[in-house]
Each structure stands twice: as structure tokens, then as C-alpha cells.
């Protein structure tokens, strides 16, 4: 159950778009549509932003979108806003009823 691979940090200016990648294997990301993304502010609990690869829970802005190709999933945030500055984690089903998270990506809004 090795953690999924995410870039440690990404940055963008307000109004721009950024993408965060999440690379796994055929045993997790590549073999599952149960890929999700969470947003976490410092010292706060995570918040679900994307599930089923590309679905948004009620209340999540449509600026957030998800995609998957092969063993890599991605989260794209368009029209960056200052409030988007946070840590982002991907998560995937990893077989045998287990889950695996990515190492996390710190998004900085310049």
C-alpha cells in the first residue's frame, strides 16, 4: 500500500488554472473508478471535493474538476481564488477493501 504520488507543491495566480496529478498503479488508480480528492486547510479536517473520478458533491464549485487517464488521476482548479490555497489529497480504492491516499500537494495562490 504505497502512497499515491503527487507533486509536493503547485502554484498559480488568481484567475489561472492549475492541475494536480496523482499517479498510482493498475492496482489502485488505474484499476478503480473510486478516485476522490480532498481539500484540507491547516489544522482542519479534510473536505471531499471530487468523487468517482470526476463528480462534485453538492456545494463544491464547478471550478473544480477531475479526470483520469491510465494510472494517473488529476484535479484541475480553474479561475483560482485565494481561498483555494490549501493542501489537496487524492485517494483511491486499492483492492481488498483498502484505500490509499496520495502524499498531498500544497497549492499556493500567488
Partner 1 sequence: EVQLVQSGGGLIQPGESLRLSCAASGFIVRSKYMSWVRQAPGKGLEWVSVIYSDGSTYYGDPVKGRFTISRDNSKNTLYLQMSSLRAEDTAVYYCAGRDVGDYPYFDFWGQGTLVTVSS
* Structural contact between residues 107 and 7, judged by C-beta atoms closer than 8 angstroms: no
Least Å distance between CB 38 and partner 1? 7
Does residue 38 interact with partner 1 by CB under 8 A? yes
If one asks whether residue 100 binds partner 1 (CB under 8 A), the answer comes out as yes
Check binding of 30 to partner 1 (CB under 8 A).
Answer: no
Residue with cell 486499492: 94
**Residue closer to partner 1, measured from CB, 3 or 110:** 3
Listed ranges 16-24, 38-46, 61-69, 70-78: which one lies at the site for partner 1 (CB under 8 A): 38-46
**What secondary structure, in 3-state letters, does 37-62 show?**
EEEECCCCCCEEEEECCCECCCCCCC
Q: Is 24 exposed, middle or buried (0-12, 13-18, 19+ CB in 10 A)?
A: buried
Shortest Cβ distance from residue 88 to partner 1 (Å)? 10
Amino acid at each position: 500500500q504505497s502512497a499515491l504520488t503527487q507533486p509536493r507543491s503547485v502554484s498559480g495566480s488568481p484567475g489561472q488554472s492549475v492541475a494536480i496529478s496523482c499517479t498510482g498503479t493498475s492496482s489502485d488508480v488505474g484499476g478503480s473508478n473510486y478516485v476522490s480528492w480532498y481539500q484540507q486547510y491547516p489544522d482542519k479536517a479534510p473536505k471531499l471535493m471530487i468523487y468517482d473520478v470526476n463528480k462534485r458533491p453538492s456545494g463544491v464549485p464547478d471550478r473544480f474538476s477531475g479526470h483520469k487517464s491510465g494510472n494517473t488521476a488529476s484535479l484541475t482548479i480553474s479561475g483560482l481564488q485565494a481561498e483555494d490555497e490549501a493542501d489537496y489529497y487524492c485517494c483511491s480504492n486499492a483492492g481488498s477493501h483498502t484505500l490509499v491516499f496520495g502524499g498531498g500537494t500544497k497549492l499556493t495562490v500567488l
